[in-house]
């Protein structure tokens, strides 16, 4: 890769792989495997419904990269004195430009936990990803690797410890949720290409793309917050898209740069407010509701404990509690300047509680459009919807349709 150089992407979209056998896993049963077979007819219908929105191959574009943010940190040299230095906190950014830019604002895409910007380049089975789709619609696209991850270097002397997600968690939560049924809607999952388990070439290709990420989410949020602000300061106004764990970085960015974040698209953003959910141990988190780090509220707060909360709803079967602000709710005075779209799948674990995140935002004065895919006739998707069989349908009929209505 050459800094500042521009060249046509030569990525090729391979034919869709299909027909792999389901492998039994620890914790699965014959009935759970049979459940998948029972969904085959629905998979066929889902595939037909997505045929209206297709992208046959990669979109011609130029490509460059750069780094933003970070600082020098003093480190000990071989003699033990601290007159050496390393650079940390920087963020890798890849800039893709279609042959004809027709959209007013570029699109900045943030990946989730244990992932990288490659999430959006192409799917694990070789089809065009969301980056290609939005390039085809005339958007400039910026892809990044979150700070201290992948091409954004993790510095052992400066950054906190990392963790690696194991293959079973990926199967249970993302790719083969219907085999485990950890939450009630998991059985509705049909859109992952292949069977979603170890040994399937598509799953293996996806799991190989996962990387270690910082354990401490407060540390992650603070470091991404600084680098993301530096990115917008460099490129100017942009549409910001976040997914999953990076959702907790979208709100601080909108808070810090409300004039530069022209819209925020949140694909199943980190939630619900104030607490973990679904996967034990369920402990307090996101002390500022939707964020691990401070946001600007009115009336002002001096620390997170100033936010008075109340339990709005508890679901034992779905494994979550919806906690909101006590009335009257404080307002997110900066984030409320940014239009927001939240997109929720039919079968992902966010299906149970994204409504609670949206409720928190709306009561804090944020204008949120919330689209749940089954309510508009798009079925079978899970948390990684942008990689699934109908990924282009969602980009076209949901995300870009909303963006086009705004700009």
Look at residues 211, 246, 235 and name the one whose alpha carbon lies nearest to residue 68.
235
148 contacts 90 by C-beta, under 8 angstroms? no
- In angstroms, the CA 165 to CA 113 distance is 9
Place of tokens 């964020």: 291
- Residue 405: CB atoms within 10 A of its CB come to 10
Tokens linked to 70? 């970070």
Place of tokens 């993301």: 228
Tokens linked to 102? 């027709």
What residues contact 306, with CB distance under 8 A and at least 6 apart? none
Residue 231 CA: distances (Å) to CA of 87, 260, 393: 17, 10, 29
- In angstroms, the CA 16 to CA 390 distance is 12
- In angstroms, the CA 37 to CA 44 distance is 12
What residues contact 200, with CB distance under 8 A and at least 6 apart? 20, 23, 194
Which candidate in 244, 246, 336, 347 is catalytic? 244
- Residue 134: phi, psi to the nearest 5? -70, -30
- In angstroms, the CA 333 to CA 301 distance is 12
Look at residues 89, 87, 106, 88 and name the one whose alpha carbon lies nearest to residue 97.
106
Q: For residue 231, what is the enclosing H or E element? A: helix 217-235
For the question of residue 244 being annotated catalytic, the response is: yes
List the catalytic residues. Answer: 244
């Amino acid at each position: 890769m050459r800094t500042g150089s521009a060249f046509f992407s030569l990525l090729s979209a391979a034919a869709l792989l299909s027909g792999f056998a389901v492998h039994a896993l620890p914790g699965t049963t014959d009935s759970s495997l049979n459940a998948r077979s029972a969904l085959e007819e629905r998979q066929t219908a889902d595939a037909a419904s997505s045929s209206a929105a297709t992208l046959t191959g990669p979109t011609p574009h130029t490509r460059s990269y750069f780094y933003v943010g970070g600082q020098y940190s003093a480190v000990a040299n071989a003699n033990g004195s601290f007159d050496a230095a390393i650079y940390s906190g920087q963020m890798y950014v890849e800039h893709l430009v279609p042959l004809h830019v027709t959209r007013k604002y570029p699109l900045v895409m943030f990946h989730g936990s244990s992932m990288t910007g490659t999430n959006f380049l192409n799917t694990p089975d070789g089809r065009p990803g969301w980056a290609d789709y939005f390039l085809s619609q005339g958007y400039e696209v910026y892809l990044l690797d979150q700070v201290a991850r992948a091409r954004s270097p993790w510095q052992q002397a400066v950054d906190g410890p990392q963790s690696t997600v194991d293959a079973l968690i990926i199967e249970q939560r993302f790719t083969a949720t219907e085999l485990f049924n950890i939450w009630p809607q998991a059985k509705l999952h049909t859109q992952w290409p292949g069977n979603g388990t170890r040994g399937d070439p598509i799953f293996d290709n996806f799991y190989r793309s996962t990387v270690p990420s910082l354990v401490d989410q407060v540390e992650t949020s603070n470091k991404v917050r600084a680098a993301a602000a530096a990115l917008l300061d460099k490129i100017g106004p942009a549409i910001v898209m976040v997914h999953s764990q990076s959702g907790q970085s979208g709100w601080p960015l909108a808070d810090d740069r409300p004039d530069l974040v022209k819209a925020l698209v949140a694909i199943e953003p980190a939630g619900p407010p104030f607490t973990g959910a679904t996967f034990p141990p369920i402990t307090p988190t996101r002390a500022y509701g939707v964020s691990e780090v401070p946001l600007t509220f009115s009336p002002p707060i001096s620390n997170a404990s100033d936010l008075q909360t109340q339990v709005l709803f508890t679901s034992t079967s779905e494994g979550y509690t919806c906690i909101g602000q006590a009335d009257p709710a404080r307002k997110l005075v900066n984030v409320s300047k940014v239009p927001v779209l939240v997109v929720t799948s039919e079968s992902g674990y966010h299906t149970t509680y994204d409504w609670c995140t949206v409720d928190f935002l709306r009561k804090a004065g944020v204008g949120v459009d919330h689209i749940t895919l089954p309510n508009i006739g798009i079925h079978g998707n899970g948390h990684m919807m942008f990689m699934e069989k109908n990924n282009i349908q969602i980009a076209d009929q949901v995300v870009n349709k909303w963006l086009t209505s705004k700009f």
